Amino acid sequence: MPELSSPEDAAAINALRSAVMRLSRRIRHHRVDESLSPTEMSVLGTLFRCGPCTPSELARKEHVQPPSMTRIVALLESKGLVTLDPHPDDRRQKVVSQTEQAQGLLEEARDRRNAFLAELAETLDPGEWAALRAAAPVLEKLAHL
């Protein structure tokens, strides 16, 4: 693991943090359903990537407390975006699954946000685009640690 203690490393970390936060805010403006919070969309995205899971598993993956996830799941269920089914091995637990409506919403949101990012990427020169493409897997890794 690299030691990140030089002034250059500190400046790079600061620039990365600032750029990621600013870009994230810009991407969030391209929402499909204004009634869903970013957290609710994130939970739906986790269900899409990971498949059905218990509220406790979702809470761990989303880095929120279980009572908060219980409220989020209840809101998503009331909007018809998730279903709760009995756990196959533990009847005390439920399994959260996304609905077809949620899948459509996620696809539309992804398409809209990807189109926005593609517009931005078109302004890059070939070297910048190559560097960004190479960095994408690393950023993905950081996002899911």
Cβ atoms of 72 and 43 within 8 Å: the answer is yes
**Residue position matching structure tokens 């996830």:** 69
The pLDDT of residue 144 is 78
Positions of the chain with pLDDT lower than 70, given as ranges: 1-2
Give the span between the Cα atoms of 145 and 141, in whole angstroms: 6
For 131-143, letters b (16+ CB in 10 Å) and e give: eeeeeeeeeeeee
**Residue position matching structure tokens 């637990």:** 93
* pTM, rounded to two decimals: 0.74
Q: Which domains does the chain have, with CATH numbers?
A: 11-143 (1.10.10.10)
Token pair belonging to 62: 């989303």
pLDDT tens readout for residues 84-118: 999 888 888 899 999 999 999 999 989 999 999 99
Provide the 8-state DSSP code for 97: E
